[in-house]
Chains A and B, each alone.
Chain A
Amino acid sequence: MADPADRVAADRKFPTAFTRSAKGFGAWLFSGEGSGLGSKVWQTLRLGLKSLLLHKLRSGLAILGILIGVTAVIWLVAMGEGVSYQAQQQIKDLGANNIIIRSTKPPADAMRGGGFVIAYGLLRDDYERIVENVPTLTQVVPMREITREARYVDNVTDVQLVGCTAKYREMNNLHMARGRFLTDQDMAEGVNVCVLGDQTAKTLFPYQDPIGEFVQIEDAFYVVVGQTQNRTASAGIGGSMAAKDYNSDIYIPLSTLRARIGDLVITSRAGSREGEQVELSQITVTVRDLEQVDQTADIIRTLLEKFHPVTDYAIVVPKELLRQAQVLQMMFNLLLVLIAGIALLVGGIGIMNIMLATVTERTREIGIRRALGAKQRDIVSQFLSETIVLSATGGLLGVFLGFLCRPAIVGTRAVMTQIFPDVMSSLPPNIRQLEPRLAAWSIIAAFMISVGVGVLFGLYPARRAARMDPIEALRHE
């Protein structure tokens, strides 16, 4: 053995006074002579990792607990966001500045008019009154729609015959594929022109350009002046708004519809004849300022109430629906956070359990470290870093799996459609077409919470380790 004398003699001089360690935790954390910033943090984490690797299965299970929690949060939020995005998008399609007033059939015992004809709904006078009395509007679009059969030569199809004004196109975000939409002049003259919806045009004119051709509805012929582009259907909202499929429409001037077809619609059913007299199916108004929407809706309601003793109309305020949808979404998210919180709590308890076992198992190591000069906070940070490594690993893996949400759902749907086409087609479209939307906040929150859970649930075992009496700990077998 080499004589240690010369080496020992070369040691540094012994300081005369003890330096009281008054450094704060942060200073301690990032201290380290001649080493880079945070090297102590890195060293502590590395040590934590090393200890965890001694018990791979145990650490793996603890990680799994957190991972499942984090993944669950991200997936649930993504699906919730997907559903509500769909709903909100559909409401937005109705126009946040719009108010939609629709005719609705009142209960049978409250009808006006006698005999087999019942009259209800919005009147042309209502339209005039709204135009004259409500000052906050930029446009008012009346509309009447009925189901009719349209024919071109041998091609016949059921269509929604929509009598409307020129502004209807803009208000409903319809775009022209060919030709033009109805004009104010068409309206004024009450001419027999029509614009075909995408599907209608394809059914009646599979192989030719419909412009300039004549479509027959009942006994009148209408010259085709335009064709709209395919437009996704708008959603039905509650009971007051039916879903609207624009593609099987035919648009004609409102004045033409009144002249050619009239207000009375007779339907024969099982021998009995039934007549409904409706002047307008819907009036859509656009409010100038978003802030005035609620107030305007109230004005219109008051106005209509005066002339409609029986409520045979409904007022739909998309902005209000949007607000409700957002509130609903918020409550939904809150619920998800609660569920996620429980999942992460369970994961946290798993971590705490494992750390308590680890601390007991390593009592002697704690005693040794204390004898060699570890302060209580060194022991705390050692064990805390292990829980943070555990929970952050779980969190990171969970975030990674979170990103797989969309492909997983799309893939599952594709497989399900292949295997159980009937089951899939019977599902409501909201579920069939669900596109999960990853929410950045949920990813960040889930990760932060997982690390937070690690700190929270690691703190108790770590403090327990630090508070051990070094002598007792050293004696531990």
Chain B
Amino acid sequence: MAMAARIIDVHKHYVLKGGITVRALRGVSIDFPEGDFVAIMGTSGSGKSTLLNLLGCLDRATTGQYILAGQDVSQLDDDELSDIRSRYLGFIFQSYNLIAQLTVVENIELPLSYQGNVSREARQRCLDMAEMVGLGERLDHRPFQLSGGQQQRVAIARALVNNPRVILADEPTGNLDSATGEEIMQMLEALNAAGKTIIMVTHEPDIAARAHRTLRMRDGLLEQHSPDAAIT
């Protein structure tokens, strides 16, 4: 099966001002096949966010390899990483992270515009995405005019607009009530059913249970693999 992403023996060290080294990741290797839906769990400070940041090309590993869509991206420079984020990755954050002064459609447009794609087709794709997440009527609304669930749906549309290889979600339902969280989870499941690879960090076991498998982290290491039962 084709791999969407692989990380091989990744270490991440933070050197603090006093010269103390924090080992946030201490040799993590994981494969993410195409169409995977993974939940990452673990205690606070175990390195979940650090791992997700590496997967999201927002940061570089101290040592180890990261292969995204068959390319080693662990040695790329800042510009190249930016390019990869805009082309191959989609982000969903706990606090939505929409840009306040932009409208719904302008927010959705951002990844494409940073690819330099401001064509009419790009515009149309943004409209389709907004339609898909059920906000086709609210294109010109600003984030503060939307509910939390609606904002998160805009964020999902934005994460999808560049047709990413991998969608990274850091506690996507963390700020939502359970009914709205359920809506978002259904949306993620539908995307996964359509073939999208999703990697999700969560604290909630019943949210994690919606994924195909759960990875547990502890002290910068992967604790165990849940059986890959769901991937068949």
Residues of A within 8 A of B (CB): 1-5, 7-9, 11-12, 14, 16-21, 28, 31-35, 39-40, 43, 50-51, 54, 364-365, 367-378, 470-471, 474
Contact A14 B83 (CB under 8 A): no
How far, in angstroms, from A474 to B168 measured CA to CA in the complex? 15
Chain B nearest Cβ from A3, distance in angstroms: 6
Contacts of B116 in A (CB 8 A): 28, 31-33, 40
Residue of A nearest to B80 (CB): A20
B196 at the interface (CB under 8 A from A): yes
B59 at the interface (CB under 8 A from A): yes
B209 at the interface (CB under 8 A from A): no
Tally the A-B contacts, defined by beta carbons under 8 Å: 132
Given A51-B101, A375-B83, A18-B111 contact (CB < 8 Å):
no
Contact B99 A8 (CB under 8 A): no
Contact A5 B83 (CB under 8 A): no
Chain B nearest Cβ from A370, distance in angstroms: 7
Residues of B within 8 A of A (CB): 53, 56, 58-59, 69-71, 73, 78-80, 82-88, 91, 93, 97-101, 110-111, 113-122, 128, 131-134, 158, 160, 162-163, 165, 183, 186-187, 190-191, 193-196
Contact B118 A18 (CB under 8 A): no
How far, in angstroms, from A338 to B113 measured CA to CA in the complex? 43
Contact B99 A1 (CB under 8 A): no
Chain A nearest Cβ from B105, distance in angstroms: 14
Contact A7 B99 (CB under 8 A): no
Chain B nearest Cβ from A91, distance in angstroms: 59
Contact B128 A7 (CB under 8 A): yes
Contacts of A31 in B (CB 8 A): 116
Contacts of A33 in B (CB 8 A): 116-119, 122
Contact B115 A368 (CB under 8 A): no
> Out of B87, B119, B183, B196, which one reaches A32, CB within 8 Å?
B119
Given A3-B190, A4-B190, A372-B85 contact (CB < 8 Å):
yes
Contacts of B120 in A (CB 8 A): 34
Contact A372 B163 (CB under 8 A): no
Contacts of B100 in A (CB 8 A): 365
Contacts of A370 in B (CB 8 A): 58, 82, 85
How far, in angstroms, from A32 to B109 measured CA to CA in the complex? 14
Contact A4 B82 (CB under 8 A): no
Residue of A nearest to B115 (CB): A373
> Out of B86, B118, B165, which one reaches A39, CB within 8 Å?
B118
Contact A21 B132 (CB under 8 A): no
- Which of B70, B71, B194 has the most chain A CB atoms closer than 10 A to its own CB? B194
Chain A nearest Cβ from B137, distance in angstroms: 14
Chain B nearest Cβ from A400, distance in angstroms: 28
Given A14-B69, A33-B118, A51-B101, A371-B85 contact (CB < 8 Å):
yes
Contact A369 B99 (CB under 8 A): yes
Contact B118 A372 (CB under 8 A): no
Contact A1 B101 (CB under 8 A): no
Contact A372 B191 (CB under 8 A): no
